[in-house]
Amino acid sequence: MSQHAQPLDVEAIRADFPILQREFDGSRLVYLDNAATTQTPEPVVETIADYYRTTNANVHRGLHQLSQEASVAYEEAHDRVAEFVGASGGREEVVFTKNTTEAVNLVAYAWGLNELGPGDEVVLTEMEHHAALVTWQQIAKRTGADCHYVPITDEGRLDMDAAREMITDDTAMVSAVHVSNTLGTVNPVGELADIAHDHGAYMFVDAAQSVPNRPVDVEQLDADFLAFSGHKMGGPTGIGVLYGKRHLLEGMEPYLYGGDMILKVTFEDATWNELPWKFEAGTPVISQGIALAEACDYLDELGMANVERHEAALAEYAHDRLTSFDDVEVYGPPGDDRGGLVAFNLDGVHAPDLSSILNDSAVAIRAGDHCTQPLHDVLGTAASARASFYVYNTREEVDRLIEAIDDARQLFA
């Protein structure tokens, strides 16, 4: 893919997303909840429909033509996703799950339950999504390991001095979010990986908010494991991805048991299939996987450097407009150094109430703790409002957001 950033043709892109033409009470939809789920472009929708119209069959189970075609398309989807994130090992290093959360759980159960024990440490950050924080927390409780959390600075960045002190020879796993879904902070996960490896630990990267929005190369980051979701990158719901270095996946026991993940079964024992099928028990996410590959094609056509540039510009513009008001508190780093989202609060208005008022103006944002309750405790607030951007959003939509916030301000004055 080209890494030379160029302006996106947003109007042409918007034509691929008919849902953006919806109106509510005469107002055109402004969709700013992309960190939760992006909309799905027509080429991806058509890929799903075409699969069910022409190719629908179970994979790895039949010798008939439909099964053969479905199997090839599903296997090649793994190769395409591997290419998208720079995994030179191909399909053997890419496991399809149903979301990022399941990918984290897969490693926590298949690796963590067997490898962690008393005296071992898992180092996370204060800005982790519940998908990682709760999973490692509970696995640590089962194994007797300890969890530690790298603090954030007043600016919402990771305290790397603290990280260097906390990651020790007792650390077995470092798990960090690449881009915070609340603060927008872009964490130096490559540097964290270097520190972890210096102490013999592994590095897990939660890339749910980075793979959809910026160029990500798992080998440049030297991530041992990395996870992301299809529905945050123009793909369908119901599919996530776990990347893992091949030698680590080969050494792990399966997380789920059943059909297709086995080679031989007797009444006494079983042996496991080759990668990645060893971790994809039962009928897998066939149509979703094939459609995710199409989403990778769609984004690569736009150019991930262009996607990153577009989102960063919108986030900076929204940050600048929001911080110009004395009654708005914005969380996270400066506007010119963040991912494509802005979390904030309006004085005197609870975030869920603000979201409801914005909805009356057909402006869709997220309000709540964004599955980061401990982080919100650190920030000193129970909830925040969050506007998050994608390839089809515009500066004019940010202006609509600001106008709707002003309506809420007047309502609660």
Kindly indicate the confidence band of residue 1, based on its pLDDT and cuts at 50, 70 and 90. very low
Element of type H or E holding 220: helix 218-221
What's residue 5's pLDDT? 67
**Percent with pLDDT over 70 in the chain:** 99
Tokens of 228: 């992301």
Residue 74: pLDDT over 70: yes
Mean pLDDT of all residues in 196-201: 98
What's residue 281's pLDDT? 97
Tokens of 111: 């690796």
The full length of the chain comes to: 413
**Percent with pLDDT over 90 in the chain:** 98
Q: Which residues contact 289 (CB under 8 A, 6 or more apart)?
A: 74, 77, 78, 81, 96, 239
What's residue 4's pLDDT? 60
What's residue 6's pLDDT? 83
Whole-number average pLDDT of the chain: 97
Mean pLDDT of all residues in 396-407: 98
Cα separation of 139 and 109, whole Å?
Answer: 7
Q: Is the dihedral of CA 153, 192, 233, 12 positive or negative?
A: positive
Strand duo 240-244 + 94-97: pairing:
antiparallel
pLDDT, one tens digit per residue, over 126-185 is: 999 999 999 999 999 999 999 999 999 999 999 999 999 999 999 999 999 999 999 999
3-state SS assignment for residue 379:
helix
Q: In 3D, which of 319, 301, 300 has the Cα closest to residue 311?
A: 319
Q: Which residues of 328-361 are buried (b: 16+ CB within 10 A; e: fewer)?
A: bbbbbbebebbbbbbbbbbeebbbebbbebbeeb
pLDDT, one tens digit per residue, over 204-216 is: 999 999 999 999 9
Phi and psi based region of residue 238 (left: phi greater than 0; alpha: psi -120 to 50; beta: remaining): left
Residue 198: pLDDT over 80: yes
344, 12 in Cβ contact below 8 A?
no
Cα separation of 315 and 214, whole Å?
Answer: 14
Q: Kindly compute the dihedral angle of the four CA atoms of residues 136, 150, 101, 71, in this order, to the nearest 10 degrees.
A: -100
- Give the chain's domains with CATH numbers: 10-37+303-411 (3.90.1150.10), 45-301 (3.40.640.10)
Cα separation of 30 and 15, whole Å?
Answer: 15
Question: How far, CA to CA in Å, does 253 sit from each of 97, 109, 226?
Answer: 16, 9, 18
What is the CA 164 to chain-centroid distance, rounded?
A: 25
pLDDT, one tens digit per residue, over 247-276 is: 999 999 999 999 999 999 999 999 999 999
Tokens 């892109």 belong to residue = 13
Catalytic residue among 45, 48, 371, 382: 371
Residue 201: pLDDT over 80: yes
Residue 3: pLDDT over 80: no
pLDDT, one tens digit per residue, over 77-112 is: 999 999 999 999 999 999 999 999 999 999 999 999
Question: How far, CA to CA in Å, does 153 sit from each of 26, 226, 378?
Answer: 44, 25, 10
What's residue 2's pLDDT? 41
Tokens 């792990």 belong to residue = 252
What's residue 413's pLDDT? 75
pLDDT, one tens digit per residue, over 378-395 is: 999 999 999 999 999 999
Question: How far, CA to CA in Å, does 380 sit from each of 128, 139, 329, 347, 369?
Answer: 16, 28, 12, 14, 12
Phi, psi of 278 (to 5 degrees): -55, -30
Where are the extended beta strands (E) located within 143-245? 146-150, 171-177, 202-206, 225-229, 240-244
Kindly indicate the confidence band of residue 412, based on its pLDDT and cuts at 50, 70 and 90. confident
Q: Is the dihedral of CA 103, 106, 111, 117 positive or negative?
A: positive
Kindly indicate the confidence band of residue 301, based on its pLDDT and cuts at 50, 70 and 90. very high
Q: Is 147 a catalytic residue?
A: no
Overall pTM surpassing 0.85 (yes/no): yes
What residue type is assigned to position 206 of the chain? D
Residue 283: pLDDT over 90: yes
